Structure 1
């Protein structure tokens, strides 16, 4: 862990970070779109969607081949700041199974070097990338379970476990186990002093925490959408919106 108390205090004052509690653990939410778990020195990022640009371009969309490079460079700066013991990439890290074949040699080398700088890098499987591309360092897994009796019980997945909709508090499969997921790319709109803002966000209830998408070309699902409301009840949710380099609770 590289962050110091003075760095943390400065970043909080600048509203570059926000602190929240979820599943019995303290989390640092970074305005750049990642979550940090100080207790374990883990950094969590979701939905990189590497090579989405080249995928869309193959279908006639006039997009430049810069999304993977831009995404990885942003992530590299964050990792340099935190120097975490572990990075968890929470699914859909690669846009499709042919992503690595389309990625430039330079970007592949950059990615492999970045992963190799971290002691432990976990690639959680997503619906876009159920299999880790060959030649990429790190470990692939379906989910990561973190448990300490009497303190916390949380699972890191790409999508929520089945049966959560409208029944989070009583689901017999998950019990009281909290979940940190990606997949939905949450975004929101709000008004402050008669000005309207929109942007990506972190959103949570007592049992479900949804990460924002980190990838350069990733869109989003509005938190007022029926799908989001079925998972995160409006009267129970906490939202942290990112806008113009800052993060704030709404």
Structure 2
């Protein structure tokens, strides 16, 4: 852990960080799009979608193939700041199973060096990358379960898992930290309108923003999101122009 109390205080004053509680655990939310768990020295990032640019270019989309470089550069700076014991990449880290074959040698080397800087790096499987590409360090897993009797019970996975109940409705199993939905939102402050990526959570579900350079988003007022996150219960933390604020 590299962050100090003084650094944390400075960043909170600048509003580049926000603190929240989820599943009886204290979380630091960073305006750069990652969540940090101080008690375990874990850093969580989601939906890198590496090589999405080259994938779209192969279908005729006029996009530069520089997204992996930009995404890795931003992640590199964050890991330098926190120097976490563990990084959890919460699914869809690679845009498709051929991403590594399209990645430039320099980006592959940069990615490998970044992973090896961290004591433990966990690649949670996503719908875009159910299999970890060959030749990349780190450990692949379907999900990560964090449990302490009487204190917390939370699982890290890419998509939420629900349990059907007798009346035909669905409810979420244990507290979950997920990615997949790329949440974004719009809000008005002092008659000015803002929009941006966000973290959004209820008591049972915490949805990470997408970190990748070319990742779009799903508005938290979309019916898909409303079905998962009750509007009266949810809390959102929007990121805009380098700051983060709760709504």
- Matches of 2:170 and 2:149 in 1, distance apart? 24
- Matches of 2:242 and 2:28 in 1, distance apart? 15
- Matches of 1:166 and 1:240 in 2, distance apart? 28
1:18 Cα deviation after fit: 0.1
1:65 Cα deviation after fit: 1.0
Unaligned runs of 5+ in 1: none
The answer to whether structure 1 residue 212 and structure 2 residue 212 are counterparts is: no
- Matches of 1:248 and 1:237 in 2, distance apart? 14
Aligned partner of 2:28 in structure 1 is: 28
Contact preservation (8 Å) 1:2, 1:81: yes
Contact preservation (8 Å) 1:49, 1:92: yes
Aligned partner of 2:138 in structure 1 is: 138
The answer to whether structure 1 residue 235 and structure 2 residue 232 are counterparts is: yes
Unaligned runs of 5+ in 2: none
- Matches of 1:8 and 1:66 in 2, distance apart? 32
Contact preservation (8 Å) 1:166, 1:231: no
- Give CA deviations for 1:1-30 in whole Å, capped at 9, x if unaligned: 000000000000000000000000000000
What value does the CA root-mean-square deviation take over the aligned residues? 1.1
Find the residue that maps to 1:217 and give its secondary structure.
coil
1:162 Cα deviation after fit: 3.2
Aligned partner of 2:147 in structure 1 is: 147
Which of 220, 225, 229 is 1:223 aligned to? 220
Aligned partner of 2:184 in structure 1 is: 187
The answer to whether structure 1 residue 114 and structure 2 residue 111 are counterparts is: no
The answer to whether structure 1 residue 245 and structure 2 residue 242 are counterparts is: yes
Structure 1 length-normalised TM: 0.96
- Matches of 2:55 and 2:124 in 1, distance apart? 21
Runs of 4+, deviation exceeding 3 Å: 162-168
Aligned partner of 1:93 in structure 2 is: 93
Structure 2 length-normalised TM: 0.97
Find the residue that maps to 1:73 and give its secondary structure.
helix
